[in-house]
Structure 1
Amino acid sequence: MRTTTVARIAERIGARLEGDGTAEVGPDVVIDTRRATSGSLFIALPGERVDGHDFTEAARVAGSRAVMATRPTDADLPHLLVDDTREGLPALARVVVARERDRGMVTVALTGSSGKTSTKDLLAQVLEDHGPTVSPVGSFNNEIGVPLTACGVDEHTDFLVSEMGARGKGHIAWLTSIVPPDVAMVLNIGTAHLGEFGSREAIAEAKGEIVEALGPDGWAVLNAADERVAGMAPRTRAHLAWFSPDADHRHPEADIEVWAGDVVADDLDRHSFTLHARVDGTTCEHPVSLRTLGAHQVANAVAAAAAALAALTSATGHRPDPAAVAASLSSATTRSPMRMELHERADGLVVVSDCYNANPDSMAASLAALGNILGRRRAADPHTRGVAVLGDMLELGPDAPALHREVGALAARSGFDLVLAVGEHAGDLAAGARAGGAESRVVTVEEAARSIGWTSHDVLLVKASRALALERVAEQVLDLGGPSAAGLDFDGRPAVGEHEEARK
């Protein structure tokens, strides 16, 4: 946010001020004392295990200039007192976003059952080549992560990218009240978290709230290859932009249309394709060579391209250059940790860590990508062994046992020789793998890394929902050192958004 006085913030959000109102605060807004900077505003959020109010003095020592809290604390700082800091944070974000939108900042919101974070990272890198851009760290897509990210914009920001998850009806509508979108994108409607929603139709109903938030001058960016997403078109007054991973779902009547053709992959399953883009009746073709792994990244890339073209149109009022978008996609890298991270040990062992999130769709995409890598490596090295350390997919409801067995069977069909299964549904994963013809074992997370003798011929996939912290397995196999500090927020509390992928 722009640097301003504490009194001004209190006035704008209706907080009661205690202390020096002339103190200037900003630009950073933080909920973690370790991320406090000189002049920052510390938000004292309650947590499941600790309370941010107990760390306001630590925030002061770290440089914070003011505190938002529900009660006075021992910190010698101005206090913005609100009834609930979980409501005070979004109230502040609404004010910050509204001010920057009034001067021309473009907001892009995206949702979907899978692929949001990867697509968000690609889109942010495309937009950064056209102007200062703020986008979430990791998957900050819930009621805390969305406003916290939004508070990062200032008078220099041209684009704000907001990733939005949902745990039920009305959640995305509430998030769009914080970040009203100029461009809203829906990637897909999958089987993730059926336990919360009950059906794909219910998921579509909730996700579609994002396009209902658009005004008539906005852009709805929709997946033409997903019938439930395509069915959202009547729910918006905005312009339509369509994307598809192939040419089989054309919408030649739309103002913007993007699709992929001539898709090929290298030996590490990085895909190249021809980006076809039609904007204002003009069609062009440009090559794209992705640096990210997996065929599913082609769909993510064309989605990012369509959203970028819509955002650039909103920002300038003119037809953007698809060639520049294609060039940006070709230089984009994986930004968020634990998402298809490729590592190679000195002896040649390959590890892909994809353990931030897991649902049936993302499991299928990861297994397919690693299956392709296994096939190519076996052509050069017949001793190649494929090992998958797989864990629970959370919140799938009564279908969870069957869905875990299907994933185990899919691992076998994808070419994995051995499945090491962990978590509550380890038995189901292992049973599915055995039924598919692969060897399988039920192990603990602690046992997974040392349960077999690793060799230079191994290709390892580590994949589960975030709660299992399977990155520890990848670190031990690669000998990267001690446990990762990722996933912790202020003073040991689970990080903001840690489980939002499992909740949407």
Structure 2
Amino acid sequence: MITLTFGEIAAAVSGRFEAAGTDASEFTPVSGYVETDSREIEPGGIFVAKPGDVTDGHRFVGPAVDNGAALAIVEHTVDVAVAQIVVPDAVIALGALAAEVVRRVKAAGDLTVIGITGSNGKTTTKNLLGAILSPDAETVMPRNSFNNTVGAPTTMLRVTEGTRYLISEMGASGPGHIARLAALARPKIGIELKVGMAHAGGFGGIEQTAAAKTELVAALPADGVAILNRDDPRVVAMADKTPARVVWFGEHDESDIRASDIVVTATGTHFTVITPDGDSIPVSFKVLGEHHVWNALAALAAARELGVPMDVAVRRLESVSRAERWRMEVMGGRDGVTIINDAYNASPDSMSAALKTLALVTERGQRTVAVLGAMSELGEFSGEEHDRIGLLAVRLGIDQLVVVGPEARRLHISAINEGSWAGESVYVETADDAYEYLEQQLRAGDTVLVKSSNSVGLRFLGDRLGELFS
């Protein structure tokens, strides 16, 4: 974070400074990282005592100080010897501090903020764009998938006076969430990837999801750029909702940054990118899955707007070996067994894309095995969406389906109803049960997809299988 005094922070968050038994004053400077997890605090850091669903951050002010916290932002005074700023709401204060820091860095330097949203692909696109931009200038982007009202401001607070690019993932589980994040970061470039059924339970349906995702481009300035997916009709409709200039990406002929000749293999995805300048550049993209081509195009479009030559951007894109930990991560290899661990998250769209990729990359004569857990946060749409995935697995000809956990059992039943009567679909209660089954059943040459929402924890099953066949 940039250097601010305790008094400046108190003013930014509308809080009250208290020395709390220390010799600190309102003129004491601080520049450490801001964290809401006491275990992540480093010397000189700022700890935000956020109340949680399970526990209260105020209980961890002491451990944060033990780790070196110089300041705590709290909702009530804590009996710990550390300078404190007392605020009515710690999460709102975190956002207010982030907004002030970003405002100051913009005013003093050359900071450009890029906002990314979409039902799928935000983290992958963030990583791809970061790989393209970071060799040229200081680039700040989220760790993991820090994209909510806590994670996004925490990322914003990592900017310094020398930061040139801030890439901000903007996730949401309900209306207004993205608008609030956009108001904090004030992005100049906004990327809209896709509108799908992820978090549909919180929004109330896909049209409500589309309206919420539109909040990003609606917040862009008139001299900004909205980078939109020309292949998604709901994203196309956003062009009329933004004051910014529109740049299209996709496979559609009207795309400004267009992909053609897409070929998906077990070693990656190959395509040609076509630019408005008439260039056609072949891309050997190591990230597995045709659905990641959209993410690559979005990153290339943003990079072009920021002045990176397309051939340079493509070369840096090709250096990325995986989207992210547990996202289409290729593991294994012994006896020709390939494990695709894609169990960091799951929505109907990403589940469908992963199954299609499994079918595409497996060579003739080899078995396809899909180990699937539940897709969370679908609300009233959960049953029908799990049904749809079960039907898709059968229609794609997946040789063996292993369904894990009671929340996903309907997927197994749908597969049976569609024709998987002879053991092609197996249901097990736990990830341990699945491991024991697969340990005995997998054979040389199998390609195995492990896919579920993060809360189900199948990513760890994927790791175990990858280690088993390493």
Q: Do residues 273 (structure 1) and 268 (structure 2) align?
A: no
Q: Secondary structure at the match of 1:109?
A: strand
Compute the displacement of 1:437 (Å): 4.2
Residue 433 to residue 62, structure 1, CA distance change in 2 (3 Å): same
After the TM superposition, which residues 305-316 of structure 1 pair with which residues of structure 2 at under 5 Å, given as runs? 305-310=300-305, 312-313=306-307
Q: In the alignment, which residue of structure 1 is the partner of 2:340?
A: 352
The 2-side partners of 1:13 and 1:193 are apart by 30
The 2-side partners of 1:56 and 1:194 are apart by 36
Q: Secondary structure at the match of 2:374?
A: coil
Q: In the alignment, which residue of structure 2 is the partner of 1:239?
A: 245
The 2-side partners of 1:401 and 1:12 are apart by 46
Q: Do residues 419 (structure 1) and 401 (structure 2) align?
A: yes
Does the CA-based 8 Å contact 1:391-1:464 persist in structure 2? Answer: yes
After the TM superposition, which residues 245-394 of structure 1 pair with which residues of structure 2 at under 5 Å, given as runs? 246=251, 248-250=252-254, 257-268=256-267, 270-278=268-276, 282-310=277-305, 312-313=306-307, 320-334=308-322, 336-374=324-362, 376=363, 379=364, 382=365, 384-394=366-376
Given residue 78 of structure 1, which amino acid in structure 2 is its aligned partner?
A
Compute the displacement of 1:335 (Å): 5.2
Deviations 1:205-240 (A, max 9, x none): 111111111111100111111111111111111111
Q: Secondary structure at the match of 1:286?
A: strand
The 1-side partners of 2:402 and 2:389 are apart by 12
2:55 to 22, 39, 50: 50
Deviations 1:400-459 (A, max 9, x none): 222212212222333322211123443321123224444112212231111241333332
Given residue 398 of structure 1, which amino acid in structure 2 is its aligned partner?
E
The 1-side partners of 2:29 and 2:333 are apart by 49
Does the CA-based 8 Å contact 1:24-1:39 persist in structure 2? Answer: no
Compute the displacement of 1:467 (Å): 1.1
Residue 3 to residue 335, structure 1, CA distance change in 2 (3 Å): farther
Q: In the alignment, which residue of structure 1 is the partner of 2:384?
A: 402
Does the CA-based 8 Å contact 2:271-2:284 persist in structure 1? Answer: yes
Compute the displacement of 1:345 (Å): 4.6
Deviations 1:335-391 (A, max 9, x none): 5321111111544322111112111100011111111222x2xx3xx3x33221111
Compute the displacement of 1:309 (Å): 1.9
Compute the displacement of 1:266 (Å): 3.1
TM-score by length of 2: 0.92
The 2-side partners of 1:243 and 1:272 are apart by 17
After the TM superposition, which residues 96-115 of structure 1 pair with which residues of structure 2 at under 5 Å, given as runs? 96-102=101-107, 103-115=109-121
Residue 339 to residue 44, structure 1, CA distance change in 2 (3 Å): same
How many percent identity over aligned positions?
A: 37
Does the CA-based 8 Å contact 2:287-2:323 persist in structure 1? Answer: no
The 1-side partners of 2:437 and 2:347 are apart by 25
Compute the displacement of 1:264 (Å): 2.2
Question: Structure 2 unaligned runs (5+)?
Answer: none
1:207 to 213, 222, 225: 213
Q: In the alignment, which residue of structure 2 is the partner of 1:316?
A: none
Higher relative contact order (CA 8 A, sep 6+): 1
Q: In the alignment, which residue of structure 2 is the partner of 1:131?
A: 137
RMSD of aligned Cα (Å): 1.9
Deviations 1:131-169 (A, max 9, x none): 111111121111111101111111111000111112222
Does the CA-based 8 Å contact 1:196-1:395 persist in structure 2? Answer: yes
Does the CA-based 8 Å contact 1:56-1:74 persist in structure 2? Answer: no
Given residue 74 of structure 2, which amino acid in structure 1 is its aligned partner?
A
Does the CA-based 8 Å contact 1:410-1:436 persist in structure 2? Answer: no
Q: In the alignment, which residue of structure 2 is the partner of 1:226?
A: 232
The 1-side partners of 2:386 and 2:14 are apart by 49
Given residue 250 of structure 1, which amino acid in structure 2 is its aligned partner?
E
The 2-side partners of 1:335 and 1:403 are apart by 25
Corresponding pairs, count: 457
Does the CA-based 8 Å contact 1:433-1:440 persist in structure 2? Answer: yes
TM-score by length of 1: 0.86
The 1-side partners of 2:242 and 2:80 are apart by 48
Given residue 264 of structure 1, which amino acid in structure 2 is its aligned partner?
V
The 1-side partners of 2:244 and 2:35 are apart by 34
Q: Do residues 477 (structure 1) and 465 (structure 2) align?
A: yes
Q: Secondary structure at the match of 1:231?
A: helix
Between 422-431 and 296-305, report the one with greater CA deviation.
422-431
Deviations 1:71-100 (A, max 9, x none): 222332111111111111101100111111
The 2-side partners of 1:390 and 1:8 are apart by 50
Does the CA-based 8 Å contact 1:225-1:249 persist in structure 2? Answer: no
The 1-side partners of 2:215 and 2:348 are apart by 23
Q: Secondary structure at the match of 1:399?
A: helix
The 2-side partners of 1:96 and 1:448 are apart by 48
Q: Secondary structure at the match of 1:300?
A: helix
Q: Secondary structure at the match of 1:449?
A: helix
Question: Structure 1 unaligned runs (5+)?
Answer: 252-256, 314-319, 481-504
Does the CA-based 8 Å contact 1:426-1:442 persist in structure 2? Answer: no
Given residue 33 of structure 1, which amino acid in structure 2 is its aligned partner?
S
The 2-side partners of 1:112 and 1:339 are apart by 16
Q: Secondary structure at the match of 1:292?
A: coil
Does the CA-based 8 Å contact 1:45-1:85 persist in structure 2? Answer: yes
Q: Secondary structure at the match of 2:258?
A: strand
Q: In the alignment, which residue of structure 2 is the partner of 1:17?
A: 17
Between 78-87 and 467-476, report the one with greater CA deviation.
467-476
Q: In the alignment, which residue of structure 1 is the partner of 2:171?
A: 165
Between 90-99 and 283-292, report the one with greater CA deviation.
283-292
The 1-side partners of 2:369 and 2:260 are apart by 32
Q: In the alignment, which residue of structure 2 is the partner of 1:494?
A: none
Given residue 408 of structure 1, which amino acid in structure 2 is its aligned partner?
G
Given residue 51 of structure 1, which amino acid in structure 2 is its aligned partner?
D
Q: In the alignment, which residue of structure 2 is the partner of 1:156?
A: 162
